[in-house]
Structure 1
């Protein structure tokens, strides 16, 4: 179950960030705009799906988190906050996991997810040489 939740959160994250960036806190109540970008529209549908699966207290928390993410100027922070909220909701609600799985596009065959975590971390699928750390002097041509 844990790996499934992580995969769903990673798939949904960019859509959530795009929707909140485009509509702000109104994303939870706004009717879907037919002309909206596909990414923004899917992010909005995901957030509204989470909204429908929450009780009154959960909806208040969702509103607060979305407002906070919308007010934040740092997309990385917003993505982290929204991902954490989605992960908690998915861990508690198997029905939500099923509905979200059906809503998200299937990952392309051979899709690779790479995560870098920690100070000075790097992530790459294909790389020749990666040198990190202080004091490295690149070779002269």
Structure 2
């Protein structure tokens, strides 16, 4: 089983992609064949989390998914709602260790990365910043 924070790092982006794609209807929508792989994964993860037997009206994940869907394009509200979703998912996973195992099994294999040479960099995902190695390196970010 993955640690909860590592698991959340993989679950939250997929769940968020599903919410952004479908809004509140992600809570009831059947799997859509036209959705991208990340959105479909998010749908499956949310379906498993939401069908774990919790009271639907009081389920904190359902409430935060609805809030995220209602956030619109307001970047600050989106950031807040994403954080709320992550917190709600963390609480559910801490309370249901078996669920964490099930969700881990649903996730795709992560590629193994290895940095072999001196000062080499290994990256298993995306990088949106500077990666710099070497003596006396100077990095300038122009925006």
> What is the aligned partner in structure 2 of residue 28 from structure 1?
27
TM-score of the pair, normalised by structure 2: 0.72
Query: Which ranges in structure 2 are unaligned for 5 or more consecutive residues?
Result: 114-121
- CA RMSD across the alignment: 2.9
Residue of structure 1 aligned with 2:82, choices 60, 73, 79: 79
CA contact (8 A) 1:9 1:86 kept: yes
Residue of structure 1 aligned with 2:109, choices 103, 106, 128: 106
Cα–Cα, structure 1 residues 92 and 35, in superposed 2: closer, same or farther, change >3 Å? same
Query: Which ranges in structure 1 are unaligned for 5 or more consecutive residues?
Result: 115-122, 132-141
Q: Output one character per residue of 1:35-82: Cα deviation in whole Å (capped at 9) or x when no partner.
A: 211111101111111101241167543222111011113343333222
- The count of aligned residue pairs is 124
Q: Return structure 1 stretches of 4+ with deviation > 6 angstroms.
A: none
Q: Which structure: greater helix fraction?
A: 1
